[in-house]
Structure 1
């Protein structure tokens, strides 16, 4: 006999939290729209949304209608490491500024702590709600379509000359794709994150078995040209075109570098990779650079890279002064969210006339605000997810799990590169999306195969018949 109690319980859980999952997808789709949620009112909506959805799930849990997933149980060390940031932010905001642990702006630190709690809730909600392969695909496609919208919207604003960000005319970065973000680099960061998901899903659809004859080759070719893979590939091309039109130097560099590195890691580690994977990754790089770039301005990105110099950039000076600020508050920082308050005390005239509310380096900004201990905890948390994604590519047999493991690997590498010269993790939309992808990295390793899947049911039936 087949033990169906676990399967039935899983089905009931999925039914009861279906609307919570839909609300979670709606929240993720909303977050990038209001200027990347980088305004106080938009942050408030993000925080309230995450708290409300979490409370709804906890209510169902109290009624014994949903269960704690294996993925979140195995992610407790990661959650604990991430939690050090908001907990420390609240401590900084609570103590006096005369105390070494005190913040120079307690209100900003409390706000940063609340935002940090929201990111952790989003991470946990993804681990709890994304409990089937169907939901993994729905989540991935939701974010891919969000990236597609941003790419199309940003490109159309640039091509038509009617340039609006989010219901207001653009006053900066005109003639450049910014989507509903203010800064082109942050649109580039968001597109790279969503592209990594799209490419991972594309990889999961590859047929890893060699074709036996010409008919099989023909059938696969037609499926590739006319099937869902072709439509997804077209979406990815549009998104890459939008990425190129941002003219973001490090955004484009991070995309192609992370795609190449993640592809090499996949080919080296996965025992099931074939020439199909090599062809896909190669085509993504070659076609996107030489075809998409020809029409949408990759030469302008290259020109910006060539003309970058110490004379035209002040980020080197800003980083140098930020390092001095870090050394003065090495272990405790100056308080979460206080970079814009603390940096003017350290800057000199050679940093230019611009007002810096963020360091153009996420590592330096976190270290400046939280100190090196909490910053190290955050880096370690991301590293643990990276290891999980690598293990998933080595061990998992399910194509979808290997695909989202690739997505997590690529996203981590891309943001690790981009964060050296920009502040994507200070933009709520990008930080929240990154937390979801990190959760998928954990799911790729720890998610159990669907208990009620047809393949497993058939195997169980054959086993019971043999007994």
Structure 2
């Protein structure tokens, strides 16, 4: 085993440990954890780079392989830096009239430099995470194991969420909840954010199950191993769905359904199962879901009756956020500034009894904080990665499985982000990027022998 192979194995274990622990402290949704996570990843990247340089080794997956993605990410980071510089007067934004005629002066484009600096740190951490995971996962064997390990991480959090809800007095890390009593939240504060994390796990599990639906060997010993893993993965998915239903998150359940459907449809073309097998699988799945709904979905079914009233409230909020965007469509108010600026636009009929510190739509939040152009960069980055992945759906399982998983989690994120802020929770964003990095590296194409370590 070469030195670089051992180094990449060690990096893989470190990244897995980081991703497994990231959701533990409230989903990582506190500024301290944003900074700590980015700092840890930065140090990890520095040590990795120095180790490669000392051994005279090249990067396994240089960013030159994804120039459009790297370029868009660089522009996003540069714009966040620009928002922090005293250049507002140069673009005519030294004084702005917001909301009901309130005049606000600032030397910077950002009206909330502190939150913008935190967002810059967070985005830098995300970029480093993607970069490091790609170095590890460009080895198909290592990438395969990392994807499966991440699936079991989500299952572990699902089990904890169910145990915490039913056996530990419905607590949050042993403490009394201050939000969403009666709903499974796991280690997250918000049930919808936890639901997105679980839905990611369901999509990943569905992709692995689709791979296992295509037997890779004829001998009996391997067939038993295949069947055993298929059963284990199926059990894991059952726990994930049970916990997802227990969150009572309506859009979380819908996003999981959409993501899983895309994964299954995408994998159908490569499956060797007969129509009878698929009909049996569908019937068994429907029976299991029905049983889980009876056991864990009563609260979710009850909340479905309030969809219309909830939609009315959200629509009123979105209309006011849209006016906020229209008042400064090109430069935005600064990354992370929504909670600071929205009160200047907040008015009836949106309830004044609640603190609206989130736009409850990641798309609207990005456009409000960064402007329509820069705020679309994260969406373009994800789209560029997905476009790179699509051709590999016709490839061998080693590459197709992570691609299906990545497309599934992107669909989950895209659907849920329309009406909530789950992707603004650090643990969710990190899991999404890790799966995308695994899939992107898996589709790298033929590599020299020295790069396969």
* TM-score (structure 2 length as normaliser): 0.88
* 2:180 corresponds to 1:189: no
The CA distance in 2 between the partners of 1:344 and 1:207, in whole Å, is: 54
Equivalent residue for 1:13? Answer: 4
Equivalent residue for 1:179? Answer: 186
Unaligned runs of 5+ in 1: 1-7, 457-467
The CA distance in 1 between the partners of 2:217 and 2:59, in whole Å, is: 40
* 2:305 corresponds to 1:306: yes
Query: What SS class does the counterpart of residue 126 from structure 1 fall into?
Result: helix
Alignment of 1:200-239 (within 5 A): 200-207=207-214, 227-239=228-240
The CA distance in 1 between the partners of 2:429 and 2:190, in whole Å, is: 15
Equivalent residue for 2:96? Answer: none
Q: Give 1:207 deviation, angstroms.
A: 2.5
* Structure 2 contact 215–226 (Cα < 8 Å) conserved: no
* Structure 1 contact 147–191 (Cα < 8 Å) conserved: yes
Alignment of 1:284-433 (within 5 A): 285-297=285-297, 299-310=298-309, 313-352=312-351, 353-394=353-394, 396-397=395-396, 399-433=397-431
The CA distance in 2 between the partners of 1:414 and 1:247, in whole Å, is: 16
Query: What SS class does the counterpart of residue 103 from structure 1 fall into?
Result: coil
The CA distance in 1 between the partners of 2:55 and 2:217, in whole Å, is: 47
The count of residues paired between Structure 1 and Structure 2 equals 433
Encode CA deviations 1:208-262: one digit per residue, 9 max, x unaligned. 5899xxxx9x99986665x122112111111111111101000000111221133
Query: What SS class does the counterpart of residue 275 from structure 1 fall into?
Result: coil
Task: Report the aligned-residue RMSD.
Answer: 2.8
Q: Structure 1 125/219 Cα, relative in aligned 2: closer, same or farther at 3 Å? A: closer
* Structure 2 contact 23–187 (Cα < 8 Å) conserved: yes
The CA distance in 1 between the partners of 2:113 and 2:439, in whole Å, is: 34
Unaligned runs of 5+ in 2: 94-107
Query: What SS class does the counterpart of residue 371 from structure 1 fall into?
Result: helix
Q: Structure 1 371/180 Cα, relative in aligned 2: closer, same or farther at 3 Å? A: same
Equivalent residue for 1:48? Answer: 39
> Bigger shift: 159-168 or 20-29?
159-168
> Bigger shift: 47-56 or 378-387?
378-387
Equivalent residue for 2:442? Answer: 444
Alignment of 1:116-195 (within 5 A): 116-160=123-167, 162-195=169-202
Equivalent residue for 2:86? Answer: 95
Q: Give 1:354 deviation, angstroms.
A: 1.0
The CA distance in 2 between the partners of 1:302 and 1:448, in whole Å, is: 49
Query: What SS class does the counterpart of residue 351 from structure 1 fall into?
Result: coil
The CA distance in 2 between the partners of 1:14 and 1:356, in whole Å, is: 49
The CA distance in 2 between the partners of 1:168 and 1:224, in whole Å, is: 41
Q: Give 1:306 deviation, angstroms.
A: 3.0
* 2:76 corresponds to 1:69: no
Of 114, 120, 141, the match for 2:121 = 114
Q: Give 1:198 deviation, angstroms.
A: 2.1
